[in-house]
Chain A
Amino acid sequence: MTEAIKVENLTFYYEGESEPALKNVNLTINEGEYVVITGPSGSGKSTLCRTFNGLIPHFYKGKMIGEVYVKGLRVRDHPVKELSKVVGMVFQEPENQILTLTVEQEIAFGLENLGYPPDIIRDKVDEVLNIMGISHLKDKVTFELSGGELQKVAVAAILAMNPDILVFDEPTSNMDPQSALDFLKYTVKINKEYKKTIIITEHRLDYIIPYASKIIVLNEGEIVALGDPRKVLIENTLEHIGVSVPQIPFLFKKLRDAIPCREAPLTIDEALELLVERLAGHSYRSS
């Protein structure tokens, strides 16, 4: 497997701060992974995301020790403009990154800047609208869209630039649950069908954790757990630092005595299977 991102002994202080926002972070993300970053408020999730496209150290100034490599490029040596061809970023408030009037213009904007010919741009716009399931919004004015729709437009605009890696920083905070679930399904689709590496910070772990190849847990700027979510979620790390454990794995921690498992089930179906098996065995023995 090829490395998409490699972080080595990274410590970062925002300018004027005496406490580091990130402390000696080491991690590797391979191409095609779906990585979930979690941790309490102020644990450094957004800061870490900002290092993946060079916003740190180029835009947010401060003291950076250690290295971040994105597809082998040392972020220190490459400007954000160059890194953005490899890494696309989607933030919490899509309004902040929407620039133009119609959906079509919004998506064409980046391609026009790169000097693509109009017919290629048209094809590309149609393609990414289709991927995100928003072809019907093509001629809409961006300020008429709901938060969920706007966020999909923001992603389509980034997909048009064809980066290998997409970083989402709490993309669904302002959506209602159905819209959030729907949006998150598209992040999974981009990962599975289009082989993009996805890195996402998200509070609604219940929905996405079944799709994650890796979970990274941050607390006070340090990585306190990293690995297969089935293994991480059966430990007590998340509760200790004040992050809610998704309900299904949390339930099975409580059922440990009755149904011992070394790996946490993540979906309702997996949980159901384990319970049905147990209930069948149980009534068999007691009858």
Chain B
Amino acid sequence: MQDIAIEVHNLWFKYKYSNEWALKNINITIRKGESIVILGENGSGKTTLIKHFNGLLKPSRGSVKVLGIDTRQASVAQLSRKVGIVFQNPFHQFFSETVWDEVAFALYNFGYTEKEIKDRVEGTLKLLGLYKYKNKSPFTLSGGEMRRLALASILVYDPEIIVLDEPTVGQDARNKQKLAELIKLMVDMKKTVIVVTHDIEFAIENFPRVIVLSKGEVIADGPPNQIIYDDIIVKKSRIIRPPIISLLLRLREVCNVSIDYSKVKFEDIANYIKGLAGGG
């Protein structure tokens, strides 16, 4: 199928020397241009799953196809050109002396011209607000800046599918806002964006589709409202609801107010409560 970015079919995975399945019968189809978020507590299998998207891990059973290619038939290097993954600990992936060289590295490997390398690196560093640090060592950056640098070194070679593992950790509200805008921009550019996060507010404010993993299984896959109002899913995945949603549910309990379950965003619920309370 032309419009499918990633197709995970009956995927089972067990780490070597482990007796337990880390992933159990996962079935997910992600279309090109989708932006999705994967939620789940530590140890639920999120990182194990995304490592299948560029072939770092291969299925024990079942299959993973990336842009139509079965990951068992391709090398990590081939898949990495199409799927850029930014992992959780950015400092584990830096090795260059300057921010500029770090971002340019992949482009030299892919054989781009000097002119193109210069244009792309400059553009990407500016996009992520890192241009002023171009001559600094990556290791002198703050945690939040390191995360953006890791993202820059992926974005610069323009992969079709972008996977971000916990991109909001250590980012303040303003940087989270910028990250959300950047994800929108990538989606506008027809990229497929997959974000793994614990940040429930970030997830439901910015993504139309949420996949919830628990103990290696997909326990929900749908729009955020289907997840956040579902007591069973919330309990099973140990999600903590945003305070405003907990408040709304308590308000329904105590005052019997009706709830519009299609609304999940802070602004929408705040306006609804404002309407109930009346102005002035």
Residue positions of A touching B, CB distance < 8 A: 39-42, 146-148, 170, 173-179, 181, 203, 206, 242-244, 246-248, 250-251, 254-255, 257-259, 268, 271-272, 275-276, 278-279, 282
Contact = CB atoms under 8 A, between A and B. Distances in A.
B170 A275 contact: no
A146 B42 contact: yes
Given A173-B170, A176-B42, A251-B273, A246 B243 contact: yes
Given A176-B42, A176-B238, A243 B173 contact: yes
Best-buried of A146, A175, A176 by chain B (most CB within 10 Å): A176
A170 B277 contact: no
B277 A255 contact: yes
A233 to B, nearest CB: 13
Given A177-B238, A181-B240, A257-B279, 17 more contacts: A40-B172, A41-B144, A41-B145, A41-B171, A147-B42, A174-B169, A179-B41, A206-B243, A248-B244, A250-B266, A258-B277, A258-B278, A258-B279, A268-B243, A272-B247, A272-B250, A282-B278
A220 to B, nearest CB: 13
A255 B42 contact: no
A257 B242 contact: no
A276 B254 CA distance: 8
B198 interface: yes
Contact of B170 (A41, A146, A250, A254): A41
Contacts of A282: 276-278
In order of increasing CB-CB distance, the 3 nearest A-B pairs are: A242-B174, A244-B173, A258-B277
Given A255-B277, A272-B251, A41 B240 contact: no
B270 A251 contact: yes
B262 interface: no
13 contacts: A41-B144, A174-B169, A175-B42, A176-B42, A177-B240, A178-B41, A206-B243, A248-B244, A254-B270, A258-B277, A268-B246, A275-B276, A276-B251
Contact of A41 (B175, B270, B274, B279): B175
A276 B274 contact: no
Contacts of A258: 274, 277-280
